[in-house]
Structure 1
Amino acid sequence: MVRKIGSRYTAHQILGRGSAGTVWLGEGPEGPVAIKLLREDLASDQELVGRFVQERTALLGLDHPHVVSVRDLVVDGTDLALVMDLVRGTDLRTRLDRERRLAPEAAVAIVADVADGLAAAHAAGVVHRDVKPENVLLDMQGPLGPGGSHPALLTDFGVAKLIDSPRRTRATKIIGTPDYLAPEIIEGLPPRAAVDIYALATVLYELLAGFTPFGGGHPGAVLRRHVTETVVPLPGIPEELWQLLVQCLAKAPASRLRASELGERLREQLPLLAGMPPLDVDEPDGEAEGSYEDAAPAAEPEAPRERVRRGAVPLVPGAKPDSNRDTHTSMRVPGPDELAGGALGTARAPRAAGAPRPGSARHRASARRRRITLGVAGVALVAAIGGGAWLATSGDDADGSPADQESSAPASP
């Protein structure tokens, strides 16, 4: 299918879909381009079209090796499109889905590239507002960097800002992706450059751990964790790198590093990370609803569960999620009492690698085996030393036998 986009561009092939629109492989006067064509109902919003035109100068002015440049903005009838440089590669989400987590050296090199791109944008007065793996492209034709990483470029500048019109979101709505939202956005404050630093630190944590620090469960629970909980340490990384993460995930925006500082500090860590394998941690338990499909109850070790994307809801109310790139949300800002409703403290701790998830089929089977073993041991003891042992065991049962304690003790976090 071929279609014209304005008078200068031709769209040839769909590269991806999202709730805000469709990305096409296209051709322009200067060669191949990527064209992000926004949905028709957005193009019919005159207020959004006006904002689109107002943002033209700022978006076209971003020129940096780690930013996917916007070449043109097209407003033509029902077409509203951003024409961007074509990056021949994949996005970071696709790589993360394939590998689950990256070696620390590669993860830090990629995030340092993105920090450099953000530094240029922030210097030009542009806040991205939607930093996440889906919006980081890896240039497979570029030179390999530390840890075998491909050059990383940040894309989709301006989309969240364009959609976030006062009429569309008002003061009681949030535009963003729950897993990566800075606390100040959740509390209703205007987004500044520091929100991008928080989101980028969340991306780094996810690249290292395989999960985001506050994700999992209902989007409302994720938002509350951002405001009320502290991040759980990741075992196995240098203390200096961990302190960088903690500083950039600080609740107070003023405590976070600037993008230029973050990029520089991350590159200083690269020699310490050379040759380090990916971390060996499993995703934490806790509010798991929506995180995984329920496992069938069975005594045998549970089969691998299908991983389901968390916190991904449409950018525009009523939009249907139609790809793994649908990651925006527009939802009500929680009140102070709701945000304070959860327990203050530390976010859910990762499980030891290979440990069964509490409540899972494998965990229940393990508990049953322990109870059976204890019961057999008790019978053997009675047979060996006579009825006096029964009296002692009977007394323990009245207060809670070891087997009962095992089965009724709350699971550790």
Structure 2
Amino acid sequence: MARKIGSRYTAHQILGRGSAGTVWLGEGPEGPVAIKLLREDLASDEELVGRFVQERTALLGLEHPNVVSVRDLVVDGNDLALVMDLVRGTDLRTRLDRDRRLAPEAAVAIVADVADGLAAAHAAGVVHRDVKPENVLLDMQGPLGPGGSHRALLTDFGVAKLIDTPRRTRATKIIGTPDYLAPEIVEGLPPRAAVDIYALATVLYELLAGFTPFGGGHPGAVLRRHVTETVAPLPGIPDELWQLIVQCLAKAPASRLRASELGARLRELLPMLAGMPPLDVDEPDAEEDEAEEAALPAEPAPHSVSPVRRGAVPLVPGAKPADSNRDTHTSMRVPAPDELAGGARGTARVPRAAGAPRPGSARNRAATRRRRVVVSVAAVVLVAAAGVGTWAAVSGDDAGATPQDTKNSAPVSP
């Protein structure tokens, strides 16, 4: 059923629902648009509406081929909406759900596009704060890029900042998507441009591996890993690409590349990635995730978050029009320093070549026990063989063997 959004726009069809609101396919004076209608409780918040109006100039002035442009911001009664360009394609989460992981060339080309969009935003003083596959759209109507990739555009600029008002979150709360949160946000520091680089590097890791480097299990465990653990190597990718990922996942914000640098470096790597197939790695097991969750202190469930469900909040036609089955934003307290320090294992959930057991897992421990048994049996056999050889040599001498009989016999040591 159609509904009016302000005096200039009509919303015709729901494309998706997310934690911040509902995305509609709409119509405006210049043709089709995407309209993100924020939740009514957000629209009734006077402080948020004020911030919404203050952000208008920055958001409307953000124009770049890899950014979904905001055409208008509507404040009308209970309606608070962002009117955006309509991208005809799908979102990156839907692509991941279908393919699980991408070939390195396509993954790097997509992330380079997003980095270019972020560079323009950061130059304009805008920090996205919620970079994730759900907020990356793929333009299916444009020409194909490296590795058959579609042009990528980053959307939902300003939404995280609008929701994250001081009154809503204070200094003890975190707003964001746990898998992609930079450690300085977890520690309660103000988000700056470097948080987008950390999140984008996490997205690149996920495109290559099929899972995020610090995700899995309870959101509190995920937040702790961001602060305390180092990223585990991905087998099968060139070292130059891996070092780039590691640098952008650095715990210290100042150690990360800027968006413009990241985009340029990624494009330099594209020729060496041409023709490389998707990685063949297994996702880490859930055993240690479960053990880590059990060690966490009891805490009320985070607001609007489900750590085990996946889903997209599409902004484009062709994506699933049903409700999102993964509300990816969470609002939860900042972990205390002792909680952050308590679960460090040194290295995050370790990916491995397909079929290989994860270090520390039950499979790995069983394999280790089997190897120890085999080694022990082999040692016994060697000792026994040594004893027989020594006995045979001594018996031969006792039996009157000639020097010609024994000169080519090497002594056998146990």
What TM-score bracket applies, with the shorter chain setting the length? Answer: 0.7 to 0.9
Unmatched 5+ residue regions in structure 2?
A: 292-306, 313-321, 378-414
Deviation for aligned residue 1:324 = 3.7
Superposition RMSD in Å:
2.7
Amino acid aligned to 2:279? L
Please say if residues 351 and 358 of structure 2, whose CA atoms lie closer than 8 Å, have aligned partners that are also in contact. no
Structure 2: distance between partners of 1:20 and 1:188: 22
**Structure 1 residues 242-288: Cα deviation after superposition (integer angstroms, max 9, x where no partner):** 01000000000000000000000000000000000000101012434
- Residue 12 of structure 1 is matched in structure 2 by 12
1:110-160 CA distance string (max 9 Å, x none): 000000000000000000000000000000001100000000000000000
CA distance in 2, matches of 1:86, 1:62: 16
Following superposition, the deviation at residue 323 of structure 1 comes to 1.1
User: Matched residues in 2 for 1:27 and 1:355: separation?
Assistant: 52
- 1:213 paired with 2:213, answer yes
Higher RCO (C-alpha 8 Å, min separation 6)? 2
Partners of 1:76 and 1:192 in 2: CA distance: 31
Structure 2 CA distance for partners of 1:150 and 1:325, relative to 1, 3 Å = farther
Q: Distance in 2 between matches of 1:113 and 1:2?
A: 34
For residues 297-316 of structure 1, what are the structure 2 equivalents within 5 Å? Answer: 308-309=308-309
Letter in 1 for 2:342: G
Q: Work out the percentage of aligned pairs sharing the same amino acid.
A: 92
Aligned to 1:252: 252
Q: CA 1:250–1:354 in structure 2 vs 1: closer, same or farther (change >3 Å)? A: same
In the alignment, what sits opposite 1:57? Answer: 57
Corresponding position: 1:90 with 2:87 = no
- 2:342 aligns with 341
Q: Distance in 1 between matches of 2:94 and 2:168?
A: 30
**TM alignment of 1:201-280, pairs within 5 A:** 201-280=201-280
What SS is found at the alignment partner of 1:75? Answer: strand
When normalised by structure 2's length, the TM-score is 0.79
Match of 2:136 in 1: 136
- What are the superposed Cα offsets for residues 207-229 of structure 1, whole Å, 9 maximum, x if unpaired? 00000000001000000000000
Whichever residue aligns with residue 349 of structure 1, its letter is: V
1-structure distance, mates of 2:272, 2:43: 49
Bigger mean CA offset, 279-288 vs 123-132: 279-288
Give the corresponding residue for 1:35: 35
Q: Does the 8 A contact of 1:228 with 1:343 survive in 2?
A: yes
- Residues 216 and 310, structure 1, Cα contact 8 Å, conserved in 2: no
Q: Given the alignment of the two structures, is residue 165 of structure 1 paired with residue 197 of structure 2, yes or no? A: no
Instruction: Tell me if the contact between 1:177 and 1:311 (Cα under 8 Å) persists in the aligned partners.
Output: no
- CA displacement at 1:355 relative to structure 2: 4.7
**One-letter code aligned to 1:248:** C
Aligned twin of 1:388: none
Q: Kindly indicate whether the alpha-carbon contact (under 8 Å) linking 2:40 and 2:79 is maintained by their aligned counterparts in 1.
A: yes
Kept after mapping to 2: 8 A contact 1:43/1:80: yes
Give the direction of change, closer, same or farther, for the CA distance of 1:34–1:289 in structure 2 (3 Å limit). Answer: farther
Alpha-carbon offset, residue 349 of structure 1: 1.0
Contact 1:178 1:311 in 2 (8 A): no
Determine the C-alpha separation between the residues in 1 that align with 2:191 and 2:279: 32
Q: CA deviation at 1:325?
A: 5.1
Q: What is the 5 A alignment of 1:117-156?
A: 117-156=117-156
Q: Is the 8 A contact 1:179 1:311 kept in 2?
A: no
Measured in 2, the distance between the counterparts of 1:94 and 1:283 equals 19
> Given that residues 129 and 176 in structure 2 are in contact (C-alpha distance below 8 angstroms), is that contact kept between their aligned partners in structure 1?
yes
**Contact 1:129–1:161 (Cα < 8 Å) also in 2:** yes
SS in 1 for 2:12: strand
Cα distance in 2 for partners of 1:191, 1:224 equals 17
Q: 1:331 maps to what in 2?
A: 332
- In the TM superposition, what is the alpha-carbon distance from 1:27 to its structure 2 partner? 0.3
* Corresponding residue for residue 350 of structure 1: 351
Mark the runs of 5 or more structure 1 residues left unpaired by the alignment: 291-306, 313-320, 378-413
The structure-2 alpha-carbon separation of the partners of 1:92 and 1:131, relative to structure 1 and needing over 3 Å to count, comes to: same
* Alignment partners' CA distance in 2, 1:344 and 1:100: 27
Deviates more, 1:106-115 or 1:229-238: 229-238
CA distance, structure 2, for counterparts of residue 188 and residue 311 of structure 1 = 28
Q: Deviations over 1:359-413 (max 9, x none)?
A: 99x969x99xx8xxx9xx9xxxxxxxxxxxxxxxxxxxxxxxxxxxxxxxxxxxx
CA shift, 1:358, in A, is 10
Counterpart contact for 2:217–2:308, Cα < 8 Å: no
Q: Distance in 2 between matches of 1:6 and 1:264?
A: 41
